[in-house]
Amino acid sequence: MIARAVTGPLRRLVVLRHAKSAWPEGTADHERPLATRGLRDAPAAGRALAEADCLPDLALCSTAVRARQTWELASAQWGTPPPVRHDPRLYGAGAAGLLSVVHEVSAEVETLLLVGHNPGLEELVLDLAGDGLDDALAVVRAKFPTSAIAVLAWHGPAWDALVPGTALLTGVLVPRGRKGTGKK
């Protein structure tokens, strides 16, 4: 059950785990690029966000290469991408660190996209969700794979009012690009 949140406008936190990454020998973790599957799945994630009417007003993206590439390929699917802030604090952050960064976002932003990494993103979604529609919570608890998208909705006057247990997990998607067709 969702704890009673402060009233305010409807806000959405859209959480996108980076697409599948490659593991090139001798490459530092932060510098790992997307794998072939990730290059297919990231644009599919962008299309899924557009189809679900979940385009953000602002994106916060990890500085890791695979997260940046996911953002670039996903946002290229939209007419006009929103502003993005590449924040080094998102790389390797746990739920508390991620929420701390979210708390800094301007109250003018109603839909915020967070592009980052597990296990922090999964922990954040589960911490914030006081409840979920259908089986959304069970899906995230089972696995939050690469390219997964979780959408959390809540009412609040500003992002710094978002606290654990006050959001509703309205949906979880795991978009996949088509293999070998040349189509997106």
List, for residues 21-78, the tens digit of each pLDDT value. 999 999 999 999 999 999 999 999 999 999 999 999 999 999 999 999 999 999 999 9
pLDDT reading at 6 higher than 80: no
- The number of residues in the chain equals 184
Give the pLDDT score at 69: 98
Question: pLDDT tier at 143 (50, 70, 90 boundaries)?
Answer: very high
Average confidence (pLDDT) over 99-109? 98
CB atoms within 10 A of CB 23: 9
- Distance in angstroms (rounded) separating the CA atoms of residues 7 and 157: 7
Average confidence (pLDDT) over 134-155? 96
Average confidence (pLDDT) over 162-173? 96
Question: pLDDT tier at 87 (50, 70, 90 boundaries)?
Answer: very high
Give the pLDDT score at 178: 79
Give the pLDDT score at 179: 74
Q: DSSP labels for the chain? A: -PPPPPP-SEEEEEEEEPPPBP--TT--GGG--B-HHHHHHHHHHHHHHHHTT---SEEEE-SSHHHHHHHHHHHTTSSSPPPEEE-GGGTT--HHHHHHHHTTS-TT-SEEEEEE-TTHHHHHHHHHEEEESTTHHHHHHH---TT-EEEEEEE-SSGGG--TT-EEEEEEE---PPSSSS--
Give the pLDDT score at 184: 46
pLDDT reading at 2 higher than 50: no
Give the pLDDT score at 25: 96
Pick from 42, 10, 15: nearest CA to 151: 15
- Distance in angstroms (rounded) separating the CA atoms of residues 89 and 105: 14
pLDDT reading at 181 higher than 90: no
